């Protein structure tokens, strides 16, 4: 959802005919992209009846100094009367991602009170007759099942390795993960069909993750100004939507697979939390690059054969990815949580107690006669990186 909120001095007709939301919009407009508005009747982090907005906006713009107004309302009808409840609340935006000098846009969140069971939400700014607001569609968090541990995968972009998709989902299923959230930007048809099949059987939750569009057009410059194709915003979106359903969420790319040390994730996470004074907001696991040999031929593909071919480079640890305690974090980034509860901290898990495998290097056989090709998953140069905000 793209929103341009006019300043109080603007003509009222601007609400009905808002200016385009882009980097060239007039300065008096508070331009941002509303990614999600989520109503939490219950939450593991907030008190009851809270709205959370997830937003992309320019860094250091006027929007960071603006006080907004949220109007939530509900209406109930009985046989004799109609009852309406209304609540107006001020709120400001909070940065939800770490500073990045290379990026002109970043992630924000806003949290404010709501009436119970709202059916309408409007946001705006200004007071009295100059107050302007726009209606906002909102969502409810995932409530279909409660689990101890779930996974949040970074948005898949140009996904073509169906072997990795199957391997990641099946490994997590093997270790008992019943809530796997896959964010999808783009994929070849075969990969998309596999994801749809898993989704239809409720083995995964498939979340579309589109590039930012302004007036129906993809704004290439704006999308290049967000960290790694807006990856951190997707992680926070997953936390906000699925954090109530899972006590812990494993956060990483599709090729980052956490292998439990004791064959069961929850016991390991609780044990590591207790070792850290029971205040760990996230457990950081070192990643180790894996070389794996498999086939492009689906009729000859074997998970067992692929995994037994794996060679792990334990001598070369990579930047860690993590598991987050959903009751202690408010926003997530690529390698660690950002907004966290007071008196909590991240803990780096020693490699002797747990590790994450980075299935990065894939070698494909042709008719089992030899190596056909070697590829690094998700590391192809698809754009000129000198013009893109890619920093992880």
Domain chopping of the chain, boundaries: 2-135, 147-387
pLDDT of residue 72: 93
Locate all alpha helices (DSSP H) within the chain, ordered by sequence.
Answer: 13-16, 162-174, 189-200, 220-224, 231-242, 265-275, 303-308
- Per DSSP, the three-state class of 227 is helix
Q: At residue 220, does pLDDT exceed 60?
A: yes
Predicted pLDDT of residue 252: 96
Q: Which CATH number fits domain 147-387: 3.30.720, 3.40.1000, 3.90.550, 3.40.720?
A: 3.90.550
Q: Which backbone phi and psi does 49 adopt, to 5 degrees? A: 60, 65
Q: How far apart are CA 315 and CA 379, in angstroms?
A: 21
Q: Flag whether pLDDT at 235 surpasses 50.
A: yes
pLDDT of residue 61: 80
- Is residue 278 within 8 Å of 305, Cβ to Cβ? no
pLDDT digits (tens, 9 = 90+) for 268-306: 999 999 887 889 999 999 999 999 999 999 999 999 999
In 125-161, which ranges are continuous DSSP H helix?
Answer: none
pLDDT of res. 216: 64
- pTM here is 0.86
Identify the pLDDT of residue 86: 84
* The most confident of 61-70, 74-83, 167-176, 364-373, by mean pLDDT: 167-176
pLDDT of residue 390: 52
Residue 359, H or E segment = strand 355-365
- pLDDT, averaged across the chain: 84
185 closest CA partner among 254, 105, 97: 254
The contacts of residue 197 (CB under 8 Å, 6+ apart) are none
- The closest alpha carbon to 117, from 55, 42, 47, 37, belongs to 42
Question: pLDDT tens-digit profile of 309-366?
Answer: 999 999 889 999 999 999 999 999 999 999 999 999 999 999 888 899 999 999 998 7
Q: What is the pLDDT of residue 145?
A: 93
Separation CA 333–CA 308 (nearest Å): 33
CB 292, CB 309: distance < 8 Å? yes
Question: Using CA atoms in the order 193, 186, 141, 47, what is the torsion angle rounded to 10 degrees?
Answer: 150
Higher pLDDT, 367 or 92: 92
- Residue 103, pLDDT above cutoff 90: no
Residue in this structure with the two tokens 């997953």, named with its chain if needed: 238
């Amino acid at each position: 959802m793209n929103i341009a909120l006019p300043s109080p001095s603007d003509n009222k007709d601007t609400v009905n005919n808002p200016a385009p939301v882009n980097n060239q919009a007039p300065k008096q407009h508070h331009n941002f992209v509303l990614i999600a508005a989520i109503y939490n009747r219950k939450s593991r982090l907030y008190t009851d009846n809270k709205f959370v907005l997830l937003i992309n906006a320019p860094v250091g713009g006027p929007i960071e100094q603006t006080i907004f107004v949220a109007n939530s309302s509900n209406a109930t009808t009985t046989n004799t009367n109609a009852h309406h409840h209304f609540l107006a609340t001020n709120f400001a935006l909070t940065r939800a991602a770490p500073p990045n000098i290379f990026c002109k846009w970043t992630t924000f969140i806003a949290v404010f009170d709501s009436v119970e069971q709202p059916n309408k939400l409007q946001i705006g700014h200004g007071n009295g007759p100059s107050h302007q607001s726009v209606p906002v569609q909102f969502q409810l968090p995932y409530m279909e099942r409660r689990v101890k541990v779930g996974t949040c995968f970074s948005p898949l972009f140009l996904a073509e390795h169906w072997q990795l998709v199957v391997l990641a989902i099946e490994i997590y299923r093997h270790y008992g993960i019943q809530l796997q959230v896959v964010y999808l930007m783009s994929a070849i048809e075969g990969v998309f069909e596999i994801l749809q099949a898993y989704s239809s059987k409720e083995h995964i939750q498939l979340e579309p993750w589109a590039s930012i569009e302004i007036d129906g057009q993809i704004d290439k410059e704006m999308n290049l100004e967000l960290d790694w194709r807006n990856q951190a915003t997707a992680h926070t979106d997953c936390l906000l939507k699925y954090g109530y359903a899972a006590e812990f969420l494993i956060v990483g790319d599709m090729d980052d697979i956490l292998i439990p040390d004791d064959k069961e994730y929850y016991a390991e996470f609780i044990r590591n939390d207790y070792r850290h004074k029971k205040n760990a907001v996230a457990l950081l696991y070192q990643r180790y690059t894996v070389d794996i040999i498999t086939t492009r031929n689906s009729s000859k593909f074997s998970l067992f054969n692929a995994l037994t071919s794996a060679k792990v480079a334990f001598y070369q640890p990579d930047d860690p990815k993590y598991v987050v305690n959903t009751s202690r974090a408010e926003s997530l980034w690529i390698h660690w949580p950002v907004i966290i509860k007071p008196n909590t901290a991240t803990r780096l898990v020693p490699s002797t107690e747990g590790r994450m495998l980075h299935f990065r290097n894939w070698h494909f056989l042709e008719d089992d006669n030899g190596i056909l090709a070697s590829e690094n998953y998700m590391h192809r140069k698809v754009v000129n990186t000198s013009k893109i905000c890619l920093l992880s």
